[in-house]
Chain A
């Protein structure tokens, strides 16, 4: 992974002191509430329902064991001993004290962590495929490019007061595990006919109040011009994006209003003045950054191990976990392991300080001391030799991190909802519990197969409900929580937006409604057909009938 040099370290150190001074001046009454709001948001500090919430950046979801240990320490020393992983692969702490935040940041800076631009109307943490660099079908490792974007976007003087937040995702594979089509900018590493590396560039995707799939602005951008092209897009957006209504301020609205052709023309015309100039990334720099993401020293004889098969034969629970929570690796004899942060009756994405330390230690012992966070709110140990899988599983199971539900119904993406978030209209964590209680039977879950369930507590869609195979959106009706259900969404390479099933259902009826939907699926599915494919084949009508017919 990328390791800071003196310059990178100086930047985060100076930023800590800058923020410390801003906090001091705010507490001394020298900065207005409104002005400090913009400053603290740019540094990841919200003031929420219960307390301030601090969001710490995990750049493109990659962290070291040492960093995870310090996150555990921070959660213990300054919070209530746990943290929450988000769909931007960041971690947030729900109970820090505003006046202690500078000290937290100083501790984080010691291990090259920061909270820069984890909120506010600026360029947010860049996300990528959580199997970057290890997936067998990958074209090219996206992480060096994510790091180049991280540096370019960090404290960019021109883009600190954008019309609205701006999110970039990068993939290096035909498979899209980064939801790139619902980002403000989606970048796909590709090679052209000459074998040169570049990006297919999408723009104007997003969720929130107006969900839109991104549109292609360029088939092939030479890789060295990545920064100049991003700068052109951002400059046009900064100048032309709407500022009169925050719900219409994202770049997707601008692209829709202008039309992709007109928007493309503007960007390309401006890019003509930038390309080939100072922003062009020299090959030396690409090589320098790429070297940080070189392959680990894998063992060549890892696949010769025979113990895995023995364990798989003899231990059914391990076999189930192996099938569900481990994934192919490009190096024979290695697997990627998903650490499930979706336990029975626990808040999805939450992790305790002890669990963080357990995962950090497993990473040190078995996975080259690195951990990844996923936008699906789990962790990944990306490089585990097959001979070590049983030992890893045992430790994870002991700490409630091995629920074999990755990709299944209970592997839900869920925002914290009304319990924590001041934007939320409805609770989400109680509904997640209700779903867990109703769908406890593992065999049934496995029979239902791959289902992505995403839930948001308000229209801002932090839980990505529009792109869930099943989406649940909490709404407030006269002070009561109601839930609108959508079917058929996907954030993958076949991205699509879910369609509304019908009128919202009451809080107590959510799991029951899901049951009716899934029973219908089991009835009408073709052999081997996934839920999403059935929905695509038959539409929402049969499900709608099953859910509402009785009541009507």
Chain B
């Protein structure tokens, strides 16, 4: 199960220990300060996470099933709120979601797919046109064009 960070396969490096955000909220203050990475899902209270996000080095966002797209908006909201650490997609990720994830602010993806091949990284380059402003480039097409 490969971990992609900034489009690169990351092997065997020291990794974060993600604490479920619900558990984190239950911890005492002394224990809370030791946590540098949390995992959230669409069921967690996003409005509580956003003001705390800054103190984490990494936030994992869970995609519980294939069709659950809440994670895309969670990442967008984190970036809009100014979070600059790692946002990692976990759960039901896939090759065909890689580009969407990146555009929404994910810079790391834990791929569940065992059959990962390096050519899956083509996912990042197969669409070069971006009509919308997003995290990768906040300018919608009309502002991209004006400056080009």
Contact = CB atoms under 8 A, between A and B. Distances in A.
A279 B69 contact: no
Interface string B54-96: 0000000000001111101110110010000000000000101
Given A7-B129, A10-B129, A151-B131, A282 B72 contact: no
Contacts of B129: 7-8, 10-11, 14
A305 interface: no
B146 interface: yes
Interface in B104-139: 104, 115, 122, 126-129, 131-134, 138-139
Contacts of B139: 278
A10 B144 CA distance: 15
A281 B96 CA distance: 30
A45 to B, nearest CB: 15
A279 B140 contact: yes
Interface stretch (A31-39, A372-380, A436-444, A482-490): A31-39
A160 B127 CA distance: 15
Contacts of A277: 138
Interface stretch (A17-25, A203-211, A511-519, A536-544): A17-25
Nearest to B68: A243
Interface in B5-50: 42, 46
B96 A157 contact: no
B127 A162 contact: no
Contact of B69 (A8, A160, A288): A160
Contacts of A157: 72, 99-101, 103-104, 132, 134
B100 A235 contact: no
Contact of B73 (A151, A238, A279): A238
Interface in A280-308: 281-282, 284-285, 288
B100 A160 contact: yes
Contacts of B131: 11, 151-152, 154-156
B128 A35 contact: no
Contacts of A219: none
Q: Which of B96, B122, B133 has the most CB of A within 10 A?
A: B96
Q: Which of B66, B67, B99, B126 has the most CB of A within 10 A?
A: B67
A159 interface: yes
Given A10-B129, A35-B94, A278 B140 contact: yes
A35 B132 contact: no
B126 A18 contact: yes
Given A35-B94, A38-B67, A239-B42, A14 B72 contact: no
Contact of B127 (A18, A31, A239, A279): A18
A125 interface: no
Contact of B66 (A21, A38, A282): A38
Q: How large is the interface on B (under 10, 10 to 19, 20 to 34, 35 or more residues)?
A: 35 or more
Given A7-B141, A35-B96, A282-B143, A161 B68 contact: yes
Contacts of A279: 133, 140
A206 B99 CA distance: 31
Interface in A229-278: 235, 238-239, 243, 273, 277-278
A158 B97 CA distance: 10
Contact of A278 (B68, B69, B72, B138): B138
A41 to B, nearest CB: 10
Nearest to B145: A7
Nearest to A164: B67
A449 B76 CA distance: 53
Given A22-B96, A30-B115, A278 B133 contact: yes
A161 B65 CA distance: 11
Interface in A55-105: none
A436 to B, nearest CB: 41
A15 interface: yes
A258 to B, nearest CB: 15
Contacts of B132: 152, 156-157
A39 B96 CA distance: 8
A121 interface: yes
Contacts of B104: 157-158
Given A7-B145, A238-B73, A161 B67 contact: yes
B94 A161 contact: no
A132 interface: no
A227 interface: yes
A108 B139 CA distance: 29
Contacts of A285: 142, 146
A281 B72 contact: no
B46 A239 contact: yes
A17 to B, nearest CB: 7
Nearest to B133: A278
A282 B74 contact: no
A157 B103 CA distance: 6
Contacts of B140: 152, 227, 278-279
Contact of A21 (B73, B76, B126): B126
The 5 closest A-B pairs by CB, nearest first: A161-B69, A157-B103, A285-B142, A11-B129, A157-B100
Interface of B: 42, 46, 66-70, 72-74, 76-77, 80, 94, 96, 99-101, 103-104, 115, 122, 126-129, 131-134, 138-143, 145-146
Interface of A: 7-8, 10-11, 14-15, 17-18, 21-22, 30-31, 34-35, 38-39, 121, 151-152, 154-162, 227, 235, 238-239, 243, 273, 277-279, 281-282, 284-285, 288
Given A30-B115, A152-B140, A278-B138, 20 more contacts: A7-B129, A10-B128, A14-B127, A15-B127, A31-B96, A121-B67, A121-B69, A154-B131, A156-B132, A157-B101, A158-B76, A159-B72, A160-B72, A227-B140, A238-B69, A238-B73, A239-B42, A239-B74, A239-B77, A277-B138
